């Protein structure tokens, strides 16, 4: 039987208009679409009539399908000769486990194509009026998973705190207190501007800004929860003059309240 193929496709950060043209093409030709929890339902309207849709969304400690099962579905459907789109929120290779799926498909000699998507760690700050890089404030950028082990390498934290201008954490709201504490303990100034952005690029977007040391309490007050991006760095202060997304609900204390005076 002729093998099918798999498209490892990024669905972008939430706004369906940020989907790439190539991603739309794959949805319109696929026999099977395997999609995640954070994929905007409007995007699924692009799936061709009669295609099989398989939901494999994950919540912490509550996985509809485990990764090994997802890998098996992709290869099984492709080996049946079907065209498969694996549709992931954001970009498939940015904390999307697309690399694991690609390795699995390659091990079975199943053809696949990777279709990048706009990742939320760049898009959500942009919609909040925060550029992740800026010549005056941030020439280095790190993206970090918020699912941190209990004993994370101290040198790695020191590098993030002292060697990187802007740090973006994915999936970190449940670890926010730990993240801020470890950064400060590793040398980051407690007054560093920081933000948490919930449901970035969508009509549900909300942003809270505060000094790094105050961000956990401010986020709790605002009831910010996942899906959310945490961004730490001087670039956050640019939000004062760069806010443009009129669909956003601003629930933050303004950055002008920060005090950066040396004591």
Catalytic status, residue 17: no
Q: Which of 15, 88, 171, 173 is catalytic?
A: 171
Catalytic status, residue 173: no
Q: Which of 58, 191, 242, 250 is catalytic?
A: 58
Interatomic CA distance for residues 70 and 64, integer angstroms: 10
Interatomic CA distance for residues 31 and 248, integer angstroms: 37
The residue among 155, 164, 208, 218 whose CA lies nearest residue 188 is: 164
Torsion angle (degrees, nearest 10) of CA 238, 145, 197, 189 = -40
Catalytic status, residue 109: no
Q: Which of 36, 77, 88, 173 is catalytic?
A: 36
- CA angle, residues 213, 216, 219, in degrees to nearest 5: 130
Residues classed as catalytic? 36, 58, 171
């Amino acid at each position: 039987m002729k093998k099918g193929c798999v498209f490892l496709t990024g669905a972008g950060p939430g706004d369906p208009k940020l989907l790439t043209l190539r991603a739309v093409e794959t949805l319109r030709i696929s026999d099977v679409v395997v999609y995640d929890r954070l994929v905007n339902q409007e995007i699924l309207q692009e799936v061709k009539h009669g295609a099989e849709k398989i939901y494999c969304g994950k919540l912490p400690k509550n996985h509809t399908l485990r990764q090994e099962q997802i890998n098996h579905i992709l290869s099984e459907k492709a080996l049946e000769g079907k065209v498969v789109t694996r549709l992931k929120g954001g970009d498939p290779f940015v904390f999307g486990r697309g690399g694991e799926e690609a390795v699995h498909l390659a091990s079975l000699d199943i053809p696949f194509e990777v279709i990048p998507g706009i990742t939320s760690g760049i898009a959500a700050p942009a919609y909040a009026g925060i550029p992740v890089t800026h010549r005056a404030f941030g020439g280095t950028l790190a993206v970090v998973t918020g699912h941190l082990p209990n004993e994370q390498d101290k040198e790695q934290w020191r590098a993030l705190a002292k060697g990187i201008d802007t740090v973006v954490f994915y999936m970190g709201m449940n670890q926010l207190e730990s993240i801020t504490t470890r950064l400060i303990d590793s040398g980051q100034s407690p007054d560093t501007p920081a933000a948490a952005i919930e449901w970035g690029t969508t009509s549900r977007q909300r942003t809270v800004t505060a000094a790094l040391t105050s961000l956990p309490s401010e986020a709790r007050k605002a009831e910010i929860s996942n899906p959310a991006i945490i961004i730490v760095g001087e670039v956050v202060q640019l939000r004062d003059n760069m806010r443009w997304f009129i669909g956003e609900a601003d629930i933050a204390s303004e950055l002008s309240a920060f005090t950066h005076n040396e004591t």
